[in-house]
Structure formats: structure tokens, C-alpha cells
Amino acid sequence: MKKSIITLTAMALGLAFLPLADSAFAQPLPGPNNFLPGAVSSEPEVPLPVVCFYTAPNFKGLYFCESGTRTVSTVPVRWRNKIESIAVSDHAVVRVCPANVLQGNCSMIGGDIIKLEPGLLDHVYSYAIKQVY
């Protein structure tokens, strides 16, 4: 008898807090277009740059993506001689080079490339991603 009273009391208390769950815990996360009420931001948030490298034209095959500003002086061996297309997000540019340490006849890419030019096709050995506003 005592156990059932405790269970019923716990259930009643749980139901009593359900209306709070919707308003207190279901708040949207802050973001560039979704600030919490009363939040003040001096600068708008700019999404991180994202660049994806694909092993086939038209963004097909195996791929890897990088986000944020970064320089990769030497592409890992498993991706060498394989990159054929590159997807570049808004707010990003990528400098791709046919030699290590950003050397050689590099190209700046500010948008999607469905098939790399002959000098870079299967010859992306280093790259640098920058954020643009």
C-alpha cells in the first residue's frame, strides 16, 4: 500500500511539471538568425567555411570534408592522386596546389568545381581554406 502511494505521488509530481518542460527546456539554441530573447550580439555570426574533396567528378565517390580556416601542407597519402572535384561552401575559398607546402601552380577556388582542371586533376597535394565574409 505504501509503495503504491509513493508511486502515485511521484507520477502526480511528474505530471505537474510537464507544462514547464515545453517552455523551460524547449528553447531554441542561439544562432545567426535565432538569438535567445534578450541576447545581445555586436557582430553577426558567420558560418564556418566548409570544403569537401571528392574522388570522382560531380561530387561522387569517396570524400572528406574540412571545416574552419586551416592549411594542410601535405594531403594524406590515401587521398593523393585521387581528388577530382571540390565543393566549397559560402563564406569559403580554398587554395589548392599540386605540390606539398602550397607550392606549384596553385588555384584559388571560391565555388564548386565539378571537375578539376588538368593541372590539378588527381594532383591536389596541399590546400589552404580561408573564410570570406
- At 43-92, the pLDDT tens digits run 667 788 999 999 999 999 999 999 999 999 999 999 999 999 999 998 89
How does pLDDT run across 8-52, given as a tens digit for each residue?
344 444 444 444 443 333 434 343 444 445 555 566 677 889 999
Mean pLDDT of 95-102: 97
pTM summary value:
0.66
The beta strands (E) that lie in the chain are given as 50-56, 60-67, 70-72, 85-88, 92-97, 107-109, 126-131
Cα–Cα distance measured from residue 41 to residue 28, given in angstroms and rounded to the nearest whole number? 16
Cα–Cα distance measured from residue 91 to residue 113, given in angstroms and rounded to the nearest whole number? 16
DSSP state of 29: P
Domains in the chain (CATH in brackets) are: 50-131 (2.60.20.10)
β-bridge partners, 113? 86
